[in-house]
């Protein structure tokens, strides 16, 4: 297996030319490592696993088997994009598993954040494991490990995250971007032809909307959260904030307040807007959103999303608030 230490002579990949040279080198290396064997990859749709998928498709085509598990806690359109880009455009060997019911049934009535995380992480491994067991002749496991993962942990993609895989999966690893920093992974992703929005996607926690649908998750509130979040993202795209803000999302708590709609009492949940800037997620500052944009978002969410009757803005920096509400 190749070294886990980035050579000091390795130039930072900042241009398409450098990215293409890296891609050619990795394609050759992966082909030499894998031969005619099969490789399995858990494809979440995040930046790292997407870039690894595109790179491996280029290197070994259908010898790569991608498994995308939809845990029902993805943002609007995300699983659809994975199917469109990898299943259709790149013609990958893609297995799509809609495990929404399994996850939401297990999460029903569970209020405690850590318990919710454990359930989501544990079930993810189970679903992936079951799928892997059905496949024959898989010799390698590909992972989207990047250099900060190696520097910050034991070198295996963050175990606390969804996508952490069972330790007893006795397969040799294929980790073509393990010596790259995040900005380099993005440049490589664009050179591989992945959509800009996928490659520059804002950070999204492994347990997904599960940490933003506060308290015990219900399907109706999760649906409202997903729709409100999609409106926020659309309006941030429209006004240019999407390119500027590090992370922005909606959280929906599990209580209602009274409101009025069509001259009738209308009880609904509040949608809380959070938009922060940070370098390393250890501290964060609040982005100033123009009032006109806030009014537009409020108007759209309260009129278009069933179940939401107020929109609030979180002005708390980290510390003292964490980025996620959880």
Q: CB of residue 290 vs ligand XMP: minimum separation in angstroms?
A: 23
**Would you say 281 or 312 has its CB closer to ligand XMP?**
281
Q: CB of residue 219 vs ligand XMP: minimum separation in angstroms?
A: 22
Q: CB of residue 323 vs ligand XMP: minimum separation in angstroms?
A: 3
d(CA 139, CA 162): 22
Q: CB of residue 206 vs ligand XMP: minimum separation in angstroms?
A: 4
**Would you say 139 or 161 has its CB closer to ligand XMP?**
161
d(CA 252, CA 214): 6
**Would you say 115 or 160 has its CB closer to ligand XMP?**
160
Residues of the shown chain interacting with ligand XMP in the complex, contacts defined by CB under 6 A: 160-161, 203, 205-207, 247, 281, 318, 322-324
Q: CB of residue 228 vs ligand XMP: minimum separation in angstroms?
A: 17
Q: CB of residue 44 vs ligand XMP: minimum separation in angstroms?
A: 10
Are 311 and 270 within 8 A, CB to CB? yes
Are 155 and 4 within 8 A, CB to CB? yes
d(CA 136, CA 155): 27
Are 43 and 86 within 8 A, CB to CB? yes
* Token pair for 162: 């969804």
**Would you say 160 or 303 has its CB closer to ligand XMP?**
160
Q: CB of residue 281 vs ligand XMP: minimum separation in angstroms?
A: 4
* Token pair for 53: 């998928």
**Would you say 159 or 295 has its CB closer to ligand XMP?**
159
**Would you say 18 or 286 has its CB closer to ligand XMP?**
286
**Would you say 92 or 323 has its CB closer to ligand XMP?**
323
The neighbouring-strand residues paired with 141 are 40, 173
């Amino acid at each position: 297996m190749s070294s886990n230490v980035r050579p000091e002579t390795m130039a930072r990949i900042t241009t398409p030319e450098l990215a293409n040279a890296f891609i050619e080198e990795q394609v050759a290396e992966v082909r030499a490592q894998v031969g005619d064997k099969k490789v399995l990859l858990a494809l979440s749709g995040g930046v790292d696993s997407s870039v690894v998928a595109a790179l491996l498709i280029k290197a070994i085509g259908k010898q790569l088997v991608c498994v995308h598990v939809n845990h029902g806690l993805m943002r609007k359109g995300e699983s659809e994009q994975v199917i469109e880009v990898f299943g259709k455009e790149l013609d990958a060997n893609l297995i799509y598993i809609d495990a929404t019911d399994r996850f939401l049934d297990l999460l029903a009535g569970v209020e405690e954040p850590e318990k919710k995380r454990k359930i989501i992480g544990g079930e993810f491994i189970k679903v992936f494991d079951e799928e892997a067991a059905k496949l024959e002749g898989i010799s390698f496991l590909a992972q989207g490990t990047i250099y900060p993962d190696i520097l910050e942990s034991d070198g295996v993609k963050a175990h606390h995250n969804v996508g952490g895989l069972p330790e007893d999966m006795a397969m040799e690893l294929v980790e073509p971007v393990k010596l790259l920093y995040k900005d380099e992974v993005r440049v490589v992703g664009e050179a591989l032809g992945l959509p800009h929005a996928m490659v520059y996607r804002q950070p999204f926690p492994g347990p997904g909307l599960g940490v933003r649908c506060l308290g015990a998750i219900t399907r109706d509130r999760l649906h409202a959260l997903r729709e409100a979040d999609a409106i926020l993202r659309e309006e941030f795209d429209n006004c240019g904030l999407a390119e500027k803000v590090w992370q922005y999302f909606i959280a929906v708590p599990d209580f209602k307040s009274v409101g009025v709609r069509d001259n009738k009492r209308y009880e609904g949940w509040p949608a809380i807007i959070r938009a922060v800037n940070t370098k390393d997620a250890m501290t964060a500052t609040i982005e100033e959103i123009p009032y006109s944009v806030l009014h537009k978002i409020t108007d759209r969410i309260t009129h278009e999303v069933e179940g939401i009757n107020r929109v609030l803005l979180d002005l708390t920096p980290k510390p003292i608030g964490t980025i996620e509400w959880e």
